[in-house]
Amino acid sequence: MILDLHLHSELSDDSRAPVEAYLKILQRKRAERPVDGIVLTEHRQFDPRRDFRGLEDRYGLLILNAAEVETDYGHMLVFGVNEDITARFDFSDVRLPAQEVVDEVAKLGGIALPCHPGRPNVGLCAHYDRRGRLENVVAVEALNGGSKQGEDARVAALIKARGYAAYGGSDAHLVSFVGICATEFDRELRSMDDLVSELRAGRCRPVDFRPSRAA
């Protein structure tokens, strides 16, 4: 099963993409981007009232809800967000303590994973260079659809050095980018609990559906 684990809808302040528009693109481009579902990771927020069952039935795609938060070690995606996690952390805080986020989210039933680690200033690599590593990181985003030249290679070196598992996501803010990078799993996932279980075990691998840039 293949999921795009990182994208933003019109709920995020820097995106204008309706959720259904993402699904229409995936349906139309199925041969190029064989993605089975998406995870909405809105910036600095989580709305537990979002319900996509109607869209899931209409398009035959899984739709899950997560969050992207900002920490003192760069941005992280938080999967398995629940009331205990939102009570513990203010997602609007742009300087959340990264080690606490990783450890406490895990204790409270979710998982926090660094995203676009190779990106300057907001990526894990830049902070590792200055401050040393975080403990208990399971996986990092090895492929990000918005990466600039050299950023994914920097992450590959980090993964090799630290032994992290790897995942991928489009980081789409525009509908046309949905599914260009994603994550493959060996089993079918039907819920956020399933996703958290597989991510915790490191049973994931990034897949790249971007057109060849060799030209």
* CA–CA separation, 146 and 118 (whole Å): 11
Task: Using pLDDT thresholds of 50, 70 and 90, give the confidence band for residue 45.
Answer: very high
Q: Which of 1-5, 7-11, 165-169, 171-175 has the lowest mean pLDDT?
A: 7-11
DSSP letter for 187, please. S
d(CA 143, CA 183): 9
The sheet carrying 205-208 orders its strands as 111-114, 74-79, 62-71, 37-43, 2-7, 181-184, 205-208
Q: Token digits for 60?
A: 């035959």
pLDDT one-digit tens code per residue, 79-99: 999 999 999 999 999 999 999
Report the pLDDT value the prediction gives residue 54, as an integer from 0 to 100: 97
For residue 7, is pLDDT > 60?
yes
- At residue 208, the pLDDT reads 97
State the pLDDT confidence band at 65, using cuts at 50, 70 and 90: very high
Q: Is 153 exposed, middle or buried (0-12, 13-18, 19+ CB in 10 A)?
A: exposed
Domains of the chain as residue ranges with CATH: 2-208 (3.20.20.140)
Residues 149-195 pLDDT 10s? 999 999 999 999 999 999 999 999 999 999 999 999 999 999 999 99
- Tens of pLDDT, residue by residue over 94-151, are 999 999 999 999 999 999 999 999 999 899 999 998 888 999 999 999 999 999 999 9
- pLDDT value of position 18: 94
